[in-house]
Structure 1
Amino acid sequence: MQMTVYFDGAFWSALIEYNEPKQGYQAFRYIFGKEPKEAEILQFIYKDLSKWMHKQEKLGVQRNDSVQFQGVRRVNPKRKQREASRAKKKPAISTKAQQVMQESHELLKKERRANQKQKREAYKEEQFLRKQEKRRQKKKGH
């Protein structure tokens, strides 16, 4: 069984995928609404998940039987560990507001860098012109 919690643009949802011996592969989506806290997710898993799975069985959702799913293969523990570490390294899904704030922060950062670069180049140009003028004055003998 695998559960993935994600933000679909409007609501926070969970995609639950599992393999039943009699029914085969099944999947359904549960909508949390606002961003769920860990406690809410755990409550869903421990209390509501089995109810939702039974509802899905009663609904008798049509699925494509032409696709054959083989039994669960045993995965090497080292591979499991690598996959877990990769999953941890992926950035956590944040709220839409946080993403927008991050993007605006990045834009401001780029603008600030561009302005600093312009100021630095203008200062160098000014220094160069002063130096040239000083040389000319020395040549004139003043």
Structure 2
Amino acid sequence: MSLTIYHDGQFWVGIIEVVEDGKLRAFRYVFGAEPKDSEILDFIYYKLLNIINQSIHSGLDVKGKSNKKINPKRLQRQVAKEINKLGISTKAQEAMKQEYEEKKKSKKKRAKQYREQLKQQKYLMKKQKAKAKHKGK
């Protein structure tokens, strides 16, 4: 799991990337103003797990990494490269976009069900009114 915090021009944003069972899931959290260290720690301790657990998408497939021992100097270079890297990975962007699309589809589906339910209620009310008129009430 990795947490990347960057400034997107307007707000400070945190991107959480989680790899589980060969699937990458990414989440976006907007901090707003520049977060202090204490705010980041509060986020990690109290909000991070809730954000990860409320996810509805399965994630994107990621190539598995081998468990080969890495040369310490190479590892040091990789860490320095990650620290200097700005922004988020394209895989994370793709995962966030996929989650957004799935949320959008589910929201659309609920809205359609709600409209159908309202339509059915109006129809039943119309029928009751017609029966009442027919009975002379």
1:37 aligns with 2:36: yes
1:82 to 64, 77, 81: 77
**CA shift in 2, pair 1:92/1:80, >3 Å:** same
Cα-Cα RMSD: 2.9
**CA shift in 2, pair 1:80/1:46, >3 Å:** farther
Query: CA offsets, 1:100-130, max 9 Å, x none?
Result: xxxxxxxxxxxxxxxxxxxxxxxxxxxxxxx
CA–CA distance in structure 1, aligned partners of residues 48 and 31 of structure 2: 13
Moved over 4 A (4+): none
CA–CA distance in structure 2, aligned partners of residues 82 and 4 of structure 1: 18
Structure 1 equivalent of residue 115 of structure 2: none
**CA shift in 2, pair 1:72/1:43, >3 Å:** farther
1:18 aligns with 2:18: yes
- Larger Cα-atom Rg: 1
Amino acid at match of 2:63: Q
Unaligned runs of 5+ in 1: 94-142
**CA shift in 2, pair 1:63/1:85, >3 Å:** closer
Q: Secondary structure at the match of 1:29?
A: strand
Structure 1 equivalent of residue 47 of structure 2: 48
The Cα of 1:47 is off from its aligned counterpart by 1.8
Alpha carbons 2:16, 2:28 under 8 Å: kept: yes
Instruction: Return the structure number with greater relative CO, CA threshold 8 A, min gap 6.
Output: 2
Query: CA offsets, 1:30-54, max 9 Å, x none?
Result: 0101001112112211221111100
Structure 2 equivalent of residue 4 of structure 1: 4
Count matched residues.
Answer: 85
Unaligned runs of 5+ in 2: 88-137
Amino acid at match of 1:12: W
Alpha carbons 2:16, 2:26 under 8 Å: kept: yes
Alpha carbons 2:6, 2:86 under 8 Å: kept: no
The Cα of 1:26 is off from its aligned counterpart by 0.5
Structure 1 equivalent of residue 121 of structure 2: none
